[in-house]
């Protein structure tokens, strides 16, 4: 059986041991013969630490998978079968700005939604397209599995502006489904959840247990009201509210439904000097990498769960398995709409249930969006499309149009000032905007 070469761009990420753990567990059916961790010079030390840890993990599993790292992306990509992207342009310092600057203008500060997600997309898309150009030349048959946020926007940019085969991935859907499996005491094969919408703006419109739709029962369950992702503030959904919606919302919808409350909490944390989630993650990562350096550590540490990203490895490795082994399994991923959601453009990226095999991912036709979410999702998709255009063109007018169309931006004069500050704060990472346009 041919060995698989996996290239991980952003190999210095604290998530890397999570990914490696999944690859080890899946080795009987997914014979990975080589893993190359790639990073830039700023991430070199962390990448070296991860490389050493992965070697210990694979040695413990008695696997002779070749593990190595490089700062030369071209060398790494040559002959790759799968490329996994998990990088962060500007690092956690840039994330801290994404989370703090918008709050000054009375807007939510978050790394993937609102103005913070907008800034992150502007930084990320040009770098991702450079990677794609390398892939087109060095590994044209490889699959790009994108975990880099904002995953839906970045994946759409790749598929609109390159010839690379790409599927976007997020760990939120698999965590939502796992939560329901545990609540119902059901094996995953018995439970089918129908997801629809956009990345970090998706909903579960149906829940089938042994073929019976139990959504109504689930909406009355306390587990749905208190559903938590580690990097999202905990705010309860009331039973009346969920019943009125008629669907299970992604945890990220809290930023839209409880915007004033969460903004007030963000302001209070900053005023009290507690910093943002990025500052918390910096402390978590400092401890994690100290742990990763311990020579006796030869497994994924439990403390990694504090970082977020739970079930990332399972989602990524199961997806690769479905492609490599032509399984035609169902995965919730980010793919071109192709008419699956009639309220959105055919070529835009949606997050939904797909059949995945060696040909790629094909969305299952799920019908219309729930009425209670159509407007918000169409609004957000307009913002996403404009953001991609701005990131690719370097047009400040297009960037302003994108920011104004973000559902978490409500004031044009404030948006104009905010855009100026975001571009200045990210000047180093936004060469496309250096010329006045």
CA 136 to chain centre: 23
Phi (first) and psi of residue 361, to 5 degrees: -120, 130
Structure tokens at 428: 């180093």
Structure tokens at 148: 């880099």
159-192 burial, b if ≥16 CB within 10 A, otherwise e?
bbbbebbbbbbbbbbbbbbbbbbeebeeeeeebb
Can you tell me the distance from the alpha carbon of 142 to that of 84, in angstroms, rounded to the nearest whole number?
10
**C-alpha distances in Å from residue 336, one per residue of 64, 274, 294, 333, 365:** 37, 40, 43, 10, 12
Can you tell me the distance from the alpha carbon of 437 to that of 185, in angstroms, rounded to the nearest whole number?
57
Helix/strand/coil for 199: coil
Helices (H), 61-171: 73-77, 91-104, 114-138, 151-161
CB 329 within 8 A of CB 32: no
Residues 6+ apart with CB under 8 A from 80: 5, 6, 7, 36, 135, 138, 139, 142
The strand ranges marked E within 160-311 are 165-168, 191-198, 201-209, 212-213, 248-249
Active site residue 252: yes
Element spanning 5, H or E = strand 4-9
Residue 150: cis peptide before it, omega within 30 degrees of 0: yes
Helices (H), 38-77: 44-60, 73-77
Options 105, 137, 208, 252, the catalytic residue: 252
Of the chain, the end-to-end C-alpha distance in Å amounts to: 53
Where in the sequence numbering do the catalytic residues fall? Answer: 252
């Amino acid at each position: 059986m041919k060995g698989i070469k996996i290239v991980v761009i952003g190999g210095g990420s604290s998530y890397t041991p999570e990914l490696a753990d999944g690859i080890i567990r899946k080795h009987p059916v997914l014979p990975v013969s080589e893993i190359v961790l790639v990073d830039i010079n700023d991430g070199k030390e962390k990448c070296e630490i991860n490389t050493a840890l992965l070697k210990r993990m694979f040695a413990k599993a008695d696997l002779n998978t070749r593990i190595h790292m490089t700062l030369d992306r071209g060398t790494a990509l040559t002959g790759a079968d799968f490329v996994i992207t998990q990088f962060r342009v500007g690092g956690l310092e840039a994330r801290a700005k994404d989370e703090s600057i918008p709050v000054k203008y009375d807007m939510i500060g978050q790394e993937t939604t609102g103005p913070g997600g907008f800034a992150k997309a502007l930084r990320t898309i040009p770098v991702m397209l450079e990677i794609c150009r390398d892939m087109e030349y060095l590994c044209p048959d490889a699959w790009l599995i994108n975990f880099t946020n904002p995953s839906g926007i970045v994946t759409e940019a790749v598929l609109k502006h390159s010839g690379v085969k790409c599927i976007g991935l997020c760990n939120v859907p698999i965590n939502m489904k796992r939560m329901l499996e545990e609540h119902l005491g059901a094996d995953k094969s018995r439970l089918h959840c129908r997801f629809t919408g956009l990345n970090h703006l998706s909903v579960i419109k149906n829940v089938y247990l042994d073929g019976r739709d139990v959504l109504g029962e689930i909406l009355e369950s306390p587990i749905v009201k208190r559903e938590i992702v580690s990097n999202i503030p905990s705010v309860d959904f009331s039973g009346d509210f969920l019943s009125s919606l008629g669907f299970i919302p992604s945890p990220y919808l809290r930023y839209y439904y409880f915007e004033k409350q969460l903004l007030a909490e963000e302001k209070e944390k900053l005023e009290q000097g507690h910093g943002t989630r990025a500052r918390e993650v910096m402390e978590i990562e400092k401890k994690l990498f100290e742990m990763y350096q311990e020579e006796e550590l030869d497994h994924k540490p439990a403390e990694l769960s504090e970082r977020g990203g739970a079930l990332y490895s399972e989602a990524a490795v199961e997806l690769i398995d479905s492609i490599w082994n032509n399984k035609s399994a169902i995965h919730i991923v980010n793919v071109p709409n192709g008419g699956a959601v009639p309220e959105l453009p055919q070529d835009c990226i949606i997050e939904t249930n797909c059949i995945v095999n060696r040909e790629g991912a094909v969305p299952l036709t799920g019908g219309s969006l729930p009425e209670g979410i159509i407007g918000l999702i169409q609004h957000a998709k307009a913002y996403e499309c404009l953001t991609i255009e701005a990131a690719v063109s370097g047009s400040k007018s297009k960037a302003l149009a994108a920011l104004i169309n973000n559902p978490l931006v409500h004031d044009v004069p404030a948006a104009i000032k905010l855009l100026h500050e975001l571009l200045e704060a990210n000047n180093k990472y936004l060469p496309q905007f250096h010329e006045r346009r």
